[in-house]
Structure 1
């Protein structure tokens, strides 16, 4: 489940995982999802080791977790219109381990696309975890704070992610500030946090431009 918050900070996509990439037992596979966070990139297909793994992802789309055999993977991103032919928009090698969950974030403008691979930790117990990813290409480094209160995550720049912050379950009013400032550049009201769940909040869109800044809050782990 995810909530899209109209403010700063990354539609479930149909997933077609290559049968050759799937392993028989869950503890023998890595679980991987992809987030399309490039605000000016077209709809894309993601190929893993030369085979289509995720197809038709548009900006703001988040795939379900798909099972992949562990090891080093060649990840290629093509415009959907290319049908996997020609030069990919991006090619990168990633290593995934059995029994672990990953989020792969495609971020940046299309002429300078990159991939950020994150290991997702599934929550447990009576607390929750909150992690942030800065994927807004034209936004400055930011602090994330309680509304009119303390800073929770400091000096997060584009392309960076924070560690998980342990928080109590509640509904939070948060705000994003330019680093070192007390002035909110955007408000994140009523952010829902459940006990035993870890979350990743991803900043997408442009600070000045279209598509506008937005936040996607994702539950982590399978």
Structure 2
């Protein structure tokens, strides 16, 4: 077992200089009819009791190859996912459990959590098993932000100005709205993922959008920025 290798991530997705030497990995539960699950890494529970729509914090691991298993919470079986995952140094990963329970599978994504001080960075992940190809667009007939994505496809990252956006999901290439996301507030210097989860026409696990905040400035970076602002302010006052 590699219990010594599994380190709990911070409660928020904060980038730190020390974390960049290792890999970071998190789990996303997007299987609409699967129960709560435990995610095991080399036989040890790394992410306990993850519910549907759950996005865990990142855990930090040395670069290596690990066996990842998914089992119902509190049980050692059945093992519904059993996959070897190679992690590279300095890379962040999301392991997304996609598909319905009968054909559940891991979708491994590389997360680009680089921060843009002037903008928000956003990507879209289509994780709804029975939803058709979709566009993500500004509501009211506005511009398409993410174009023609099908199940298990993830977009590249889009940089947008900070602000409030009224978003909707449309059938790809049409104006037909299948899901209204409402007003979404996006902050600069922050990285987001938007996951389409659930099932079209299902009352128990309806089609929905799940937003995760993937990266924000580390406390150290914020302190440096604040100190820089203070020094600049003092310099202006002394002129």
Q: Report the TM-score, using the length of structure 1 for normalisation.
A: 0.85
Does structure 2 conserve the Cα–Cα contact (< 8 Å) formed by 1:38 and 1:106?
yes
Deviations 1:152-209 (A, max 9, x none): 1111001111110111111101111111111211211111111111110001111111
Does structure 2 conserve the Cα–Cα contact (< 8 Å) formed by 1:138 and 1:208?
no
- Is residue 163 of structure 1 aligned with residue 148 of structure 2? no
Shift of 1:22: 4.5
Counterpart pick for 1:132 among 114, 121, 124: 124
Deviations 1:64-110 (A, max 9, x none): 1111121222111111242x2x5511111222122222221111100
Aligned residue for 1:220, secondary structure, equals strand
Shift of 1:26: 2.9
Does structure 1 conserve the Cα–Cα contact (< 8 Å) formed by 2:116 and 2:189?
yes
Shift of 1:59: 0.8
Does structure 1 conserve the Cα–Cα contact (< 8 Å) formed by 2:71 and 2:79?
yes
Alignment-derived partner of residue 62 in structure 1: 55
Gaps of 5+ in 2: 9-17, 217-239
The structure richer in helix per residue is 2
Using the TM superposition, name which of 169-178 and 180-189 deviates more: 180-189
The structure richer in strand per residue is 1
Q: Report the TM-score, using the length of structure 2 for normalisation.
A: 0.79
Deviations 1:34-70 (A, max 9, x none): 1111110011111112222111111112211111121
Does structure 2 conserve the Cα–Cα contact (< 8 Å) formed by 1:71 and 1:97?
yes
- Is residue 217 of structure 1 aligned with residue 211 of structure 2? yes
Number of corresponding residues:
203
Alignment-derived partner of residue 27 in structure 1: 20
Using the TM superposition, name which of 39-48 and 94-103 deviates more: 94-103
Alignment-derived partner of residue 103 in structure 1: 94
Matches of 2:86 and 2:187 in 1, distance apart? 31
Shift of 1:27: 3.5
Matches of 1:191 and 1:212 in 2, distance apart? 20
- Is residue 203 of structure 1 aligned with residue 188 of structure 2? no
Matches of 1:180 and 1:149 in 2, distance apart? 13
Counterpart pick for 1:90 among 81, 84, 107: 81
From the CA coordinates, give the structure whose radius of gyration is larger: 2
